[in-house]
Structure 1
Amino acid sequence: MQISALPQFRPIGSVQRRLKGFLRDERATVAIEGIIMIPMLFWGYVAMFTFFDAYRQTSVNVKAAYTISDMVSRETTPINPAYMNGAYALLELLTRSPEPTKLRVTVIRWDNVNQKYKMDCSKTKGNIGALTNTAVGGMASKLPVMVHNERLIFIETWSKYSPPFRVGLQEQDLYNAVFTRPRFAPQVIWNDS
């Protein structure tokens, strides 16, 4: 029977040399850096896309509210339910929101005798209630200064925004309020027929 030789233990210096050689080895560092950086770059790209989309949708909603406000302010004939349906369809077309939008058109006037704002009419489309005189009175600090019996068209729009990716933005209602004076007639009139 032959006894095999026991492996020789190498000194600690050999292990240290191999470890230093491993640390100095630069082969495949690009691949390792890529594995670390690609998820961060992808997340950054997705976040930029999501934030840009949120700003774009906010801008589109503001422009839609101004468009409807300008449209109503140019009316010289009474507005009726068919007109409101068309304005609502225009809002949905411009915002391209997958969720139902809301539209409220209110005509407000200043009563100088009683020193308060009053509502002439308030019509809505979507799941939102009409404004009341009490609600208009509560908004007095937000309304512009007007002369006696001057009319103001107050357009409000709501549209739901859902971010395409989860990067910190929550689903939210985008609300816009626009004030406009009637342009070609002293007031906007509502006709129920």
Structure 2
Amino acid sequence: MSQPLHKRCRRVLRTFARREDGNIALETLIIVPILFWAYLALFVIFDAYRQHSINQKAAYTIGDMVSREDRALTPAYMTGTRNLFDSLARSATPSSVRVTSVWFDAANNLYVCDWSESIGTVVDASITQVENWDTILPVMPNFERITVVETWTRYEAPFNIGIADHDIHNFIFTRPRRAPAITWEDASANCA
């Protein structure tokens, strides 16, 4: 004797629901793309963090190197500085380096730019820019000088997951070590 259609369908569905032999393949099919995406996202995040760390260490090295100079800096020195930064940072794209000599005027409570020179796509620091650095430069005694080294390089993510391509900018300040101030070879080179 045949059963009504709805009872047969219900019985087939119950039997299908109780079976467990195909669940692992189905779960794997669902979870593998998610795991793959998560792995790539973690790889990109780790790579970006690593590149930021390498760039910061390279910028500190350049800042320390400049702070130990007792002779005037030259355009050839700046070219060598950028080449060294590119080598240390393992930069795939051309970088930019800017060195600025700054002193503090306590009477007017502002930072004054002695000179600024750059190599790459950035321009020399302006007087207005240096005056606006009051929130990021340290408290200094009157007429104290520091050298600010800024570096820029482009980070290009290996995969377009989570982090877009962006510029890495480092701002490093160091007190001159062997001389009262770091000078530029052309005494007339001032901030604009």
User: TM-score of the superposition, structure 1-length normalised?
Assistant: 0.89
1:73 aligns with 2:67: yes
3-state DSSP of counterpart to 1:139: helix
User: Aligned to 2:126, which of 126, 129, 132?
Assistant: 132
Aligned to 1:33: 27
**How far apart are 1:140 and its partner, in Å?**
2.3
In structure 2, C-alpha distance between the alignment counterparts of 1:187 and 1:63, rounded to whole Å: 23
In structure 1, C-alpha distance between the alignment counterparts of 2:35 and 2:46, rounded to whole Å: 16
In structure 2, C-alpha distance between the alignment counterparts of 1:57 and 1:70, rounded to whole Å: 20
In structure 2, C-alpha distance between the alignment counterparts of 1:24 and 1:115, rounded to whole Å: 79
User: Aligned to 2:176, which of 166, 175, 182?
Assistant: 182
Tell which deviates more after alignment, 18-27 or 129-138.
Answer: 129-138
3-state DSSP of counterpart to 2:35: helix
Gaps of at least 5 residues in structure 1 are 1-7
User: Aligned to 2:88, which of 94, 97, 107?
Assistant: 94
- Alignment-mate amino acid for residue 107 of structure 1: S
Tell which deviates more after alignment, 164-173 or 120-129.
Answer: 164-173
**How far apart are 1:113 and its partner, in Å?**
4.4
User: Aligned to 1:112, which of 106, 117, 122?
Assistant: 106
Alpha-carbon displacement from aligned partner over 1:77-110 (angstroms, at most 9, x marks no partner): 2211111111100111122222221110001012
In structure 1, C-alpha distance between the alignment counterparts of 2:108 and 2:17, rounded to whole Å: 84
* Percent identity for Structure 1 against Structure 2: 44
Question: Aligned residue pairs: how many?
Answer: 185
Aligned to 2:3: 10
Higher alpha-carbon Rg:
1
User: TM-score of the superposition, structure 2-length normalised?
Assistant: 0.89
In structure 2, C-alpha distance between the alignment counterparts of 1:154 and 1:13, rounded to whole Å: 82
Aligned to 2:156: 162
In structure 2, C-alpha distance between the alignment counterparts of 1:35 and 1:142, rounded to whole Å: 51
3-state DSSP of counterpart to 1:87: helix
Pairing of 1:41-80 with structure 2 (within 5 A): 41-80=35-74
Alpha-carbon displacement from aligned partner over 1:130-154 (angstroms, at most 9, x marks no partner): 0122221222233222222211000
In structure 1, C-alpha distance between the alignment counterparts of 2:42 and 2:149, rounded to whole Å: 31
Tell which deviates more after alignment, 137-146 or 29-38.
Answer: 137-146
**How far apart are 1:9 and its partner, in Å?**
5.2
User: Aligned to 1:83, which of 66, 77, 96?
Assistant: 77
In structure 2, C-alpha distance between the alignment counterparts of 1:154 and 1:190, rounded to whole Å: 13
- Alignment-mate amino acid for residue 10 of structure 1: Q
3-state DSSP of counterpart to 1:157: strand
